[in-house]
Chain A
């Protein structure tokens, strides 16, 4: 590497008193004193979160408000820290959704264990579990930090669905049975 000798100019008298520099500094700080503030006052103002953000895992419903989860338990098995616990349950007769395989009776995600890896979202065949843009979880007890099924649906909400997999399956079944 080449060494470039830089000639250092000697300071003149006014510069050696440092007073012009101090005055200039006072001018700059005074401008900042009156200028806009950079702080985002958090609970009232929130940062914009990207839709790709990998936040708290949630359960979602399809546009017909049917819960998408079919209790296949793939997420439970893939979850590295074993944060998910599902109790499967068969769908009761006469509910109009008997064609869907199963439903979860209980679906608990322990947010003290969750590592936000997103494997559950990736493995889910029904696109029922989604890591959305919720980023702040807090509670006073360990029990409060476990998200139960109703809470998961509450923060999950409804996501658009273009497949309508189970509706198609039902329609196909009915069509074929009409043939017979």
Chain B
């Protein structure tokens, strides 16, 4: 099967990969939106959406009612509703950019998926081969570069809507992105300083970071979350801000800006913004997992290769790959749950508080963190 895939023309391979991204990310994003509703309901002491069920599922004895209780069919009904709703475009908008904005939101969100490794298997010589769609060595740089583009969609949406609240939402989105991008990048730098020891080949690859966290020994096997807790914390907070999640959802701010940048949007265009937001969350959680939570390693100090040795999965690359994807996905979904959990716990910051937190606290903190780790790493590695 692999040989057949390799023999396909390059364009067809690319198309297949793109299709794989859409087929995987869309359902996960949809399931996340359902999980969001369920988690919010449970936290507020409600059972959440649990009514919709197509008749032929109601005939299945135990599974049918269970699926109904967890609201699976509400998700489908929602998706269908968005597809068939009237696509209304207000008369006062700049039509071209108004239609373009949701598409621009989706593109970077789906493009970053390709450079994120999501699993690994062992080749016959015992080397760990990471699974990723586009094996590029610039890894984290590509993620940062492309994901920053997603703010253009918010700005474009806010501006093209040609009304006050979306405009304010767009302005806030751009200000917030600039403020938090800095501390996010600075928080990640110590990790790569540590990984790129003098003498070894320089790399920005995310898979290399995971390989670094799977070395034997106490320091080698510990996840970067334990080695660099402050970096992880700053990265996490910036991630909340970058993905426009509560308590940083300045561009949206339902209570003071109606819906922010998507006030004028409806139907499928609106749902594209939503899918983009969730896939940004998924990518963000994925990058956090790779950088600080040991990627596809099952537990700290237990790398995937050791796990394969114990379970004798080393000779079954496909099975081991699937298991490693499960480990990775489990961590990502846990992080997404944390996103939701925080959203329904912490109230939203005021705009000036967001700016103060970004510029006066997180940025100096991340610079101090970088300097401290740079000095420490310099002492350790030379």
Q: A residues touching B (Cβ–Cβ < 8 Å)?
A: 22, 25-26, 28-30, 32-39, 41
Contacts and interface: CB of A to CB of B under 8 A. Distances in A.
B43 interface: yes
12 contacts: A22-B342, A25-B345, A25-B346, A29-B43, A29-B345, A32-B43, A32-B45, A33-B42, A34-B42, A37-B42, A39-B46, A39-B47
B344 interface: yes
Contacts of A25: 345-346
B44 interface: yes
Contacts of B39: 33
A22 B47 contact: no
* A22, A29, A36 pick with most chain B CB within 10 angstroms: A29
B247 to A, nearest CB: 9
Contacts of B346: 22, 25
Contacts of A39: 45-47
B345 A33 contact: no
B274 interface: no
Contact of A37 (B46, B342, B344): B46
Interface of B: 39, 42-47, 341-342, 344-346
A48 B43 CA distance: 26
A30 B342 CA distance: 10
A-side binding surface: helix, strand, loop or mixed? helix
Contact of B341 (A29, A35, A37, A41): A29
Contacts of B342: 22, 26
A116 B43 CA distance: 39
Given A25-B345, A30-B341, A41 B47 contact: yes
Nearest to B46: A39
Given A29-B344, A33-B42, A38-B46, 14 more contacts: A22-B342, A22-B345, A22-B346, A25-B346, A26-B342, A29-B43, A32-B42, A32-B45, A33-B43, A37-B42, A37-B46, A37-B47, A39-B47, A41-B47
B335 to A, nearest CB: 14
Nearest to A41: B47
Contacts of B46: 37-39
Nearest to A38: B45
* B39, B44, B344, B345 pick with most chain A CB within 10 angstroms: B345
Contacts of B42: 32-34, 37
A138 to B, nearest CB: 18
A41 B341 CA distance: 25
A41 B47 CA distance: 9
A37 B346 CA distance: 21
B45 A37 contact: yes
A35 B46 CA distance: 10
Contacts of B341: 26, 29-30, 33
B198 to A, nearest CB: 36
A88 B162 CA distance: 69
Contacts of A38: 45-46
Contacts of B45: 32, 35-39
A26 B345 contact: yes
A14 to B, nearest CB: 14
B17 to A, nearest CB: 37
B49 to A, nearest CB: 12
Contacts of B344: 29
A169 B127 CA distance: 104
Contacts of A34: 42
A10 B39 CA distance: 36
A34 B346 CA distance: 18
